[in-house]
Structure 1
Amino acid sequence: MEFLALRKQDLAVKNNSQLPCDTYKYLTWLKLKEHDVQGSQIRCPRVREGPSEEELFMRGEALMWQRKEKLTERERWQERLQENWENCVNVNLSFQCLGDEFQQNNFHRILRRLIRVERLWLVDNSLTDLSAIKLPRCKELNVSKNHFTSFKQLPKIPQIQHLSLAENNIETLSGLSDLRQAPLESLVLKTNPCEFQENYRLQ
């Protein structure tokens, strides 16, 4: 009976599908077959992997699930080369919906590889701490609409020139001195609690 119920649910999803591309909506660009696009060639890739099989069943989207194939060591290396994060200069990884821990871990794995990035947007990703990440060449970083509470939770950005932390939860300007060694030209802190501090502008 349970199998029949699931089968009916699958058919209902199939019949109610609005677009032919629905079965691809949870795929990352890297999982699409027969292409040679590299990470350094795209500006705003989807890197968040799709929900688990169980979650898709709960949503009534079981047909969206694509069985994960076990990759050989060679295939894993080829995939790493195709990602090519080490050669990315301008990257927008905003709005990735990183709700699960495994999503966040994969996201941090990618950030650790962005050793040449100069312009990076990470808007609205529910990020809380990137202090273990080093972005040695980053000149522009936008981490607006996240959950940072302190400057100490930012990545290491020695070359930063433009930094946006709008709409976070930074309560104090403590730690701001760490950025004084960088060639910082603009800092956006609007809609943070620290705006209400006495002498905020002066500091």
Structure 2
Amino acid sequence: MSESVTDSGHDTTSLTESSLSGGLIPPLTSSNKIAEKSNPFQTDGDILPQLPSHKFRYSVWHDLRETCLRGDQLHAPRVRAGPPEKEKMFFKIEQEGIPIHHNYAGKERLHHSNQQENWERARVVNLSYQELQDDYQRRNMLRILSRCGMAHTINLSQNTLYYLGKMTFPSCLHININDNYLKSFLGFPTLPKVESITAKNNAISDIRGLHRLQGTPLQELDLRGNPLAFNMGYRNMVFHALPNLRVLDGIPRMPSDEVAVDYVEDKEGKCNIL
């Protein structure tokens, strides 16, 4: 799942032999003086050593030879793709003569990874701030989410997500999808048991798909920062569509929200107040 970044050392200016003194002195040039000032911790002739953790830079936790950690125990896992050389080095990296990775391959390795990930037993899933910039990350994010059937709390904020309409979270009670690019309620996942949804700062501009939340035990909904929240009669429309709702945008249902509003949801999802 998670791939760490590389950590490279830095070459320092080497000592040169001076014909004037017969000893080893650093050449006194302006470029060397600038280099010395830019990195005051460098010592002439030395190369900074690699950190002890350098050998683990491409390792995923479930690829390690000795690990009892499972995916459902991780607080904030990261979805990242490793470079091509990761697989080339997989069976070669050692620590004190012992390979740091297991020796599984093919289907056996895939089976081992699935068992260690163990997303099916995760109760709290925090996959926020993933910075999903490539297809690998998006595919694996959806793969992980498809296995989170027992999760009661899910945080997917700050992930540049456009659509989750094909996902189902049968046990989810609380979900955070703030700061994504969801355009309507049609992009929401199926949430049969949800009690609270916070979907602030998305791009929801109309009530398309709001009916998908009808029949759920939803009590709290937060849509602040969405274009929809600036529409006339917005609160009345939402409370009318969701009779069980008790709190909208952090404000409890008020008598003014009970005013009857007749509306028609047209094909474009626009709400026409009658």
TM-score, length basis structure 2: 0.60
Task: Assess, with a 3 A threshold, how the Cα gap between structure 1 residues 82 and 138 changes in structure 2: closer, same or farther.
Answer: same
CA 22–121 in structure 1, closer or farther in 2 if over 3 Å, else same: farther
Query: In the alignment, what sits opposite 1:126?
Result: 160
Within 5 Å, which residues of 2 pair with 1:89-128?
89-128=123-162
| CA spacing shift, 1:202–1:27, aligned 2, 3 Å | farther
TM-score (norm 1): 0.79
Secondary structure, counterpart of 1:202 in structure 2: helix
Residue 86 of structure 1 pairs with residue 120 of structure 2:
yes
Letter in 1 for 2:156: L
Matched residue, 1:41: 73
Count the aligned residue pairs: 181
Which has the larger share of helix? 1
Whichever residue aligns with residue 37 of structure 1, its letter is L
Match of 1:3 in 2: none
Match for residue 181 of structure 1 among 212, 215, 224: 215
2:86 partner amino acid? Q
Q: CA deviation at 1:96?
A: 1.1
Structure 2 matches for 1:18-97, cutoff 5 A? Answer: 20=51, 21=53, 24=56, 27-46=59-78, 48-50=79-81, 52-53=83-84, 66-67=86-87, 69=90, 71-97=105-131
Q: Report the RMSD for the aligned CA atoms in angstroms.
A: 2.5
Q: How many angstroms apart in 2 are the aligned matches of 1:99 and 1:134?
A: 23
Q: Aligned with 2:164: secondary structure?
A: coil
Check conservation: 1:162, 1:186, Cα contact below 8 A: yes
Q: Which amino acid counterpart does residue 168 of structure 1 have in structure 2?
A: N
8 Å Cα contact 2:172-2:191 kept in structure 1: yes
Q: How far did residue 34 of structure 1 move? A: 2.2
2:81 and 2:136 in contact (8 A); partners too: no
- The answer (yes or no) to whether the contact 1:119–1:138 under 8 Å persists in 2 is yes
For residue 67 of structure 1, report the CA deviation from its aligned partner. Answer: 2.9
Match of 2:186 in 1: 152
Work out whether residues 29 and 45 of structure 1, in 8 Å CA contact, stay in contact via their aligned partners in 2: no
Judging by fraction of residues, say which structure has more strand: 2
- Matched residue, 2:244: none
Distance change (3 Å), C-alpha of 1:23 and 1:100: farther
Please report how far the alpha carbon of residue 23 of structure 1 lies from its aligned counterpart in structure 2 after TM superposition.
6.4
Residue 51 of structure 1 deviates from its aligned partner by 5.0
Amino acid at match of 1:124: Q
Please, which runs of 5 or more residues in structure 2 have no aligned partner?
A: 1-5, 12-47, 91-103, 238-274
Aligned to 1:6: none
Q: Percent identity?
A: 29
C-alpha distance in structure 2 between counterparts of 1:148 and 1:18, whole Å? 46
Gap change, CA 1:140 and 1:25, over 3 Å in 2 = farther
**Structure 1 residues 97, 33: CA separation in 2 closer, same or farther (over 3 Å shift)?**
farther
Q: CA contact under 8 A between 1:159 and 1:182: conserved in structure 2?
A: yes
CA 1:79/1:19 → structure 2, altered by over 3 Å: closer, same or farther? same
> 1:27·1:50 contact (CA, 8 Å) conserved in 2?
no
